[in-house]
Amino acid sequence: MESGNELFSIYEQVNPVNTNIDLVIKPDSNVTSYSYTIYKDGKLYKDSHLNNNDSSFVSLRETGKYEITVYESIAGKQKETKSGIYNIDKEAPVIETDNLLITMQQGATIDVMGGVKAYDKQDGNLTKKLTSNADELDFTTLGLKKLVYSVTDEAGNTTTKTVNINVTRGTTSSLVAVQSIIIALLVLLSALILYFKKSINIEKRIAKFAIEPVYDKSESLFDKFLKFYYKILKRVRNVISGFVTIKKYSKRYDKYVNIVNRVYKDGLDFIASKIIMAFIFVFIAAFSKTIQYQLLKAYEISLPLLAGFFIPDIVYAYTYRRYCATIENDLLQAIMIMNNAFKSGRSITQAIELVTTELDGPISEQFKKLYMEINLGLSLDDAFKRLQDRIPLEEVSYLTASITILNKTGGNIIKVFTSIEHTLFNKKKLKLELKSLTGSSRVISYMLFGVPILFVAFITILDPTYFVPFFTTTLGIILLLIMITIYTLYIVFVIKIMKVKL
C-alpha cells in the first residue's frame, strides 16, 4: 500500500491525522482475482471485487477509524490480509465555558481554569491539555482583557475560545462600609423594637395604677411605620382573597388569630404578611448584589423568596407553642383556685371570676372571655365548649367534660375538681421528671440539628464560592435536593423518637 511517495504496510497502525489518507492496494503478480472491504467505525463503508491483479486506489477522506481487509485468490486458494487502523480526525475539539464575560475587581485573583472544559469526539476529555494566555494578562489595570483558551487534539486540530474579563475598580472597602451601615441599622431597628415591646409591657403593668392621660393625637415614627405596613397588608390581602386555593391554605393559620398577632383578623392576614416578608428578603438580596455591581441569579431570587415566605411559620409556630405552654403551666393553678372557691361555697361563675383576678397572662384572658360569655347568656356547656376550641389542650378537655357532666347529672363538684387537680399535678410532675431525664439527649439532638447549618455558614464565610456548584450545575442541584431530603427526614425521625406522649 502506498500513499504519495510513502509506502504504507497493510499491517501498519496509523496514528490520528487530520488530512486525507490515499492508499494503493497492489496485489502480487500471481493473484488471479481479489476483493477488499473497508470498515469505518466498525460498519461496512465500501467493498470492491476485481477479476485481475490491477492496483486499486483507495482514498479515505472522512473522520473515522478505518480497517481494510483484502481477500486474494491464488491458485484456487483464498488469502485474507487485514490492515491496521487508519485514524482520521478532522473535527476540532470543543471548549465549554460557564461565562463569556467575567467581571472582577482590580487586583483580585481569578481561577482562569474554573468552569472551563474541553473534549473531543475521538480523544475524549481534553481539559488537562487546555492552555491560556492568563500569564500575559495584567489584572491590576482597569479595562477589558481577552483571555484566550486553546487546546489541540492528538490529530493536530486546534480550537481557541475567547473570554472577555472586565476589570473594574475595587469596591471592597466601600462594600464593607455599606454592609456595616446596614448591619448597624438592622441592629438599631431590632433594639428599638425590643425597647418598644418592653415599654408596652411596662405600660400594661402600671396602667391599672395610673390615671388615664390626655389623648395625644400625634403619631410616633414607629406608629407611622406600623400604619404604612398595615395599609400594604390590607392591599395584599385584597389581592389574594380572590384565590380559592390561598383561602383554603389560610385556614390553618386561623388558630393564630388573637394569639400570635392580635391585629390580624384571620388566616389571610398571616398569608399576606408572609408574602410581604418574602419580597423584603428578595429586596435585601437584590440590594446586596447591587452594591457589588452584580445581578441576581435564579437561585439567588428563589432562595430568599422561599426563606422569607416560610421563616414566619417558624415564628408563628414557636409563639403559638409558647402560648399553649404558658396556659398549660397556669391551668393547674386555675384548677386549684376554682377548687378552693368551691370548698368555700362559691358557684362556678364566681370561681371563674376569682381566677381572672388572681392570675394574669394568657390564662387570665381566656377565663375573662369565659366569664364574659356566661354573663352574656351562654350556657356553661357552650361557654366551656368555646374555651376548649380556643385552647386545644387535653387538660382543658378534661375540665370541659367534667363541667358538662356535672351540669347535666349533678355530683360532688369538689371531689371531681380535687381528682382533676391531683391528675394534672401528677402529670405535670411526670413531665418535669421526663424533661430532666431526656435533657442531655435533647441538647445533643439540637446540636446535631444545628451543626450542618453552622458548618455551611462557616465555609461560606471563608469561601463564598465553595457551594456555588450546588446551585449552578445539574448534578449539584440533584445532590442538594438529596441532602435536604435526608436532613429533613433526620429531623422528623429524631423528633418522633424524642417525643413521648403522656
CB neighbour list of residue 3: distance below 8 Å, 6 or more residues apart: 21, 22, 23, 24
Residue extent(s) of CATH 1.20.81 domains in the chain? 322-424
Find the DSSP H helices in 208-220. Answer: none
- Please tell us whether the domain made up of 2-88 is placed in CATH 2.60.40.10: yes
Higher pLDDT, 386 or 182: 386
- Average pLDDT in the chain: 81
> Residue 220: its pLDDT value, please?
67
Are 231 and 291 in contact by the 8 Å Cβ rule? The answer is: no
Residues forming a β-bridge with 164: 101, 146
Is residue 303 helix, strand or coil? helix
Higher pLDDT, 498 or 360: 360
Are 154 and 16 in contact by the 8 Å Cβ rule? The answer is: yes
- Rounded to an integer, what distance in angstroms lies between the CA atom of residue 147 and that of residue 136? 9
DSSP per position, 236-264: HHHHHTT-HHHHHHHGGGGGGBTTTBSS-
Give the lowest-confidence range in 71-75, 173-177, 186-190. 173-177
Long-range CB contacts for residues 241-244, cutoff 8 Å, separation at least 24:
241/268
> Residue 4: its pLDDT value, please?
36
- Rounded to an integer, what distance in angstroms lies between the CA atom of residue 204 and that of residue 208? 8
CA atoms within 13 Å, Cβ hemisphere of 161: 20
- Rounded to an integer, what distance in angstroms lies between the CA atom of residue 429 and that of residue 437? 12
In this structure, what C-alpha cell is assigned to residue 102? 467575567
Question: Going by DSSP bridges, is the β-strand pair 101-105/158-168 parallel, antiparallel, or unpaired?
Answer: parallel
Q: What are residue 473's phi and psi, to 5 degrees?
A: -120, 155
Mean pLDDT along residues 126-155: 83
Give the lowest-confidence range in 352-356, 374-378, 429-433. 429-433
- Rounded to an integer, what distance in angstroms lies between the CA atom of residue 355 and that of residue 337? 6
Mean pLDDT along residues 81-93: 84
- Rounded to an integer, what distance in angstroms lies between the CA atom of residue 95 and that of residue 370? 75
Residue 216 has pLDDT above 80, yes or no: no
> Residue 78: its pLDDT value, please?
83
CA atoms within 13 Å, Cβ hemisphere of 228: 7
Q: Which helix (H) or strand (E) holds 427?
A: helix 413-437
Nearest CA to 233 among 277, 292, 290, 297? 277
> Residue 59: its pLDDT value, please?
83
- Please tell us whether the domain made up of 94-170 is placed in CATH 2.60.40.10: yes
**Burial class, 471, CB count within 10 angstroms (exposed 0-12 / middle 13-18 / buried 19+):** middle
Q: Which helix (H) or strand (E) holds 6?
A: strand 6-7
In this structure, what C-alpha cell is assigned to residue 257? 388569630
Question: Residue 179: which pLDDT band, with cuts at 50, 70 and 90?
Answer: low
Question: Percentage of the chain surpassing pLDDT 70?
Answer: 88
Number of Cβ within 10 Å of residue 153's Cβ equals 23
Amino acid at 200: I
Nearest CA to 404 among 375, 374, 380, 368? 380
Question: Going by DSSP bridges, is the β-strand pair 143-152/124-125 parallel, antiparallel, or unpaired?
Answer: unpaired
Mean pLDDT along residues 169-190: 64
Residues forming a β-bridge with 33: 73
- Rounded to an integer, what distance in angstroms lies between the CA atom of residue 470 and that of residue 362? 46
Mean pLDDT along residues 33-48: 87
> Residue 170: its pLDDT value, please?
59
CA dist list (Å): 392 to 90, 235, 325, 365, 421:
77, 32, 11, 16, 19
Residue 9 has pLDDT above 70, yes or no: no
- Rounded to an integer, what distance in angstroms lies between the CA atom of residue 336 and that of residue 355? 9
- Identity of the highest mean pLDDT range in 106-110, 111-115, 167-171, 243-247: 243-247
Number of Cβ within 10 Å of residue 273's Cβ equals 21
Find the angle CA(51)-CA(53)-CA(56) to the nearest 5 degrees. 95
Mean pLDDT along residues 26-42: 84
Residue extent(s) of CATH 2.60.40.10 domains in the chain? 2-88, 94-170
Full strand arrangement of the beta sheet holding 158-168: 101-105, 158-168, 143-152, 131-132
Residue 393 has pLDDT above 60, yes or no: yes
> Residue 442: its pLDDT value, please?
77
Amino acid at 209: F
CA dist list (Å): 360 to 364, 367, 386:
5, 10, 20
Residue 402 has pLDDT above 80, yes or no: yes
Q: What are residue 487's phi and psi, to 5 degrees?
A: -65, -40
Residue 10 has pLDDT above 60, yes or no: no
> Residue 8: its pLDDT value, please?
44
Residue 440 has pLDDT above 50, yes or no: yes
- Identity of the highest mean pLDDT range in 382-386, 388-392, 495-499: 382-386
pLDDT tens for residues 242-292? 888 888 888 888 888 888 887 888 888 999 999 999 888 888 888 777 766
pLDDT tens for residues 42-62? 888 888 888 888 888 888 888
> Residue 211: its pLDDT value, please?
61
Residues forming a β-bridge with 21: 60
> Residue 173: its pLDDT value, please?
52
- Rounded to an integer, what distance in angstroms lies between the CA atom of residue 352 and that of residue 217? 38
pLDDT tens for residues 329-366? 888 888 889 888 888 888 888 888 898 888 888 888 88
**In the CATH hierarchy, which top-level class contains the domain 322-424?**
mainly alpha
> Looking at residue 76, what DSSP letter applies?
T
Is residue 438 helix, strand or coil? coil
Question: Percentage of the chain surpassing pLDDT 90?
Answer: 1
Mean pLDDT along residues 60-66: 86
- Rounded to an integer, what distance in angstroms lies between the CA atom of residue 77 and that of residue 32? 10
Residue 178 has pLDDT above 60, yes or no: no
Long-range CB contacts for residues 191-200, cutoff 8 Å, separation at least 24:
192/222, 196/222
3-state helix, strand, coil in the chain (%, to 5): 55, 20, 25
Radius of gyration for the chain, computed over Cα atoms and rounded to the nearest angstrom: 41
In this structure, what C-alpha cell is assigned to residue 456? 455551611
